[in-house]
A and B are shown apart, each in its own frame.
Chain A
């Protein structure tokens, strides 16, 4: 079924992660194997504690694998040293976090520029790239604002701009909408999807929300550190599907600039009601509230 022409960007083979808590051993990821294709939107879906975030961290090289292999772009991640891993991240990886993880002392523009600073991109060029990216996520008029002066949705859009600014092939998103209300969630998800499709980038998203999973091409259900099942919603190796997605992306592009108007910080900042409603609607409501507490 999988067409050989589409590159396997991420290959996970028998990945195992064991935490030691005193004398007790906790198996967070147990003998997991899967593949993610280039340009695919992959969702790791599971409840809290299922090991989905650990899996993401393992793929990003933030955590060390106990045994097994994770091969991204032909490189065995667990075998890389810190320096090579850092260079690898500069080149191929982007990150979107649940708690945004922006530098509070920096403006939106500087935050977006940040990954390019490490890539030794010249000031003028990286400023231009960052500005373009911010315009693309609809924050053209918020460039000089600090994260604290922006709503959650706006902050996350800065986070998305930062993740995509270096044009990485793969973007890891860990509960990117976990702190946002339903409306903003949809905006952010559309944004991620649109940008990724435009550049044929691979998205690996971790979520507990089955509704968000509908954005994905492939859903990997994770339960207790093991893969429960893999659902392929869109087979991107199918040329027809691929063509349709490109058209969709083109159609979505103008919508991006419209985001601007909907981004009213006052409304967003006090968007708890909307968020609570969303919680009730969701199946895994109990988990959502626990996630909120941690943020």
Chain B
């Protein structure tokens, strides 16, 4: 038989029993919808987790902190220990495979002055050549410092929001704008004593600053960043204004970094690099540590949801098999006639497999279309339900999508539904080929 004849005949046979074909297809539609929607919810949840963790920072970043927490067996905080953080450690870490960038981080508290306003600000000093590797956000104004021109300080969206009047009685925070207000900066006055004979160290904010875009990431939104060499330069000037006793202490404080940040080339290698640093005797932290248990939870959730969908699919597979068996009983005589007229057995098999596969495909396609509608409805109206379901794990953002259908899912679902059809049609088809022509022709109908 030609393929075109086979298709024509198969479609004709399906349309001959419209009601039954339609009912079987509906079964398949339900199976497909349940699988696609369940998978899409699993993917949506995973994405929600991921984006929420991403708000806390990049997933490929590992941090080695000066003060390492010591936990007991149950993961409760007991104590901390100080780790030796110096330039040689930075060098050692940069040798580890998969490390793309590594930078020491100095963290200092600074104070900002503008007329009768004062404000606190935390500043991170990092090697500005690595900023790009750490996925620093875009700028709303100014330019990033470069190793050639490093005298630029980059401020977060909310960095200037915590000013208060020094003359006022109550603490009342005020926002200032460096573009409008004249702002100067100095280091925190409480840590070291300034020599009485020297003028206090100040730098003016003029053209030497840039602003981050709003990122939803507090690490950028509330802090200021500068190049580590520039910072050392400023710190040196500041030290000159200190009393001789404090000057030595202050200079020495720069030798120990607050933390070291490491950027890994791929998310998959994060734990490998962490292990390598651990081997050097240092404790590390990364957001992947938070991700892993969440991913486990969401994987399990996906599996449970997938299994629910799978059960629906199984029922529709049985449904197809039943339809095909019924169809064979009805068409026993026809099959006999076909055999006597010289129809090859493999063509009879193909015909039944085609019919079963067609039911699967049609059910699959309709199911996919309806799945998109269902997915849209879940995202639109499912907010309250999912918020209550997921509140135990994490807060949900306003725009979280609970159901996401990635581009590959419809293709996978269509392929899968054909496969289910063909598999459930296989045994009925095999049975059809075994019908004896002589017996079949004695059958009435």
Contact = CB atoms under 8 A, between A and B. Distances in A.
Interface of A: 57, 60, 62-63, 82-83, 86-91, 93, 95, 97, 99, 101-105, 114-115, 117-120, 123, 162
A114 B8 CA distance: 13
A82 B336 CA distance: 13
Given A105-B16, A117-B1, A118-B1, A86 B342 contact: yes
Given A63-B438, A118-B347, A103 B337 contact: yes
B342 A89 contact: yes
A101 B334 CA distance: 8
Contact of A90 (B334, B342, B441): B342
Question: Which 3 pairs of residues, A with B, have the shortest CB-CB distance?
Answer: A90-B342, A89-B342, A115-B341
A55 to B, nearest CB: 13
Contacts of A90: 341-342
Question: What is the interface residue range for chain B against chain A?
Answer: 20 to 34
A97 B339 contact: no
Contact of A120 (B1, B345, B445): B1
Contact of A105 (B12, B341, B345): B12
Interface string B411-437: 000000000000000000000000011
B345 A114 contact: no
Contacts of B346: 83
Interface of B is mostly: helix
B351 to A, nearest CB: 11
B390 interface: no
Contact of A117 (B5, B333, B337, B339): B5
Interface string B225-261: 0000000000000000000000000000000000000
Contacts of A105: 12, 16
A83 B341 CA distance: 12
29 contacts: A57-B438, A62-B436, A62-B437, A63-B438, A82-B345, A83-B344, A83-B346, A86-B339, A86-B345, A87-B344, A88-B342, A89-B340, A89-B342, A90-B342, A95-B340, A97-B441, A101-B333, A101-B340, A105-B16, A115-B342, A117-B2, A117-B9, A118-B1, A118-B338, A118-B344, A119-B342, A120-B2, A123-B4, A162-B341
A149 to B, nearest CB: 17
B87 interface: no
Contacts of B437: 62
A147 to B, nearest CB: 12
A82 B338 CA distance: 13
B344 A86 contact: yes
A102 to B, nearest CB: 8
Interface in B293-351: 333-334, 336-347
Contacts of A103: 334, 337
Nearest to B436: A62
B327 to A, nearest CB: 13
Contacts of B343: 86, 118
Contacts of B339: 86
Contacts of A162: 341
A251 B194 CA distance: 135
A95 B341 contact: yes
Given A86-B344, A86-B345, 12 more contacts: A62-B438, A83-B345, A83-B346, A91-B342, A95-B341, A101-B441, A104-B445, A105-B12, A117-B2, A117-B5, A117-B9, A118-B347
B437 to A, nearest CB: 5
A60 B340 contact: yes
A105 B337 CA distance: 13
A70 B343 CA distance: 22
Contacts of B445: 104
Contacts of B341: 89-90, 95, 114-115, 118, 162
B332 to A, nearest CB: 12
Contacts of A119: 342
Contacts of B5: 117, 123
B340 to A, nearest CB: 6
A87 B343 CA distance: 8
A151 B438 CA distance: 25
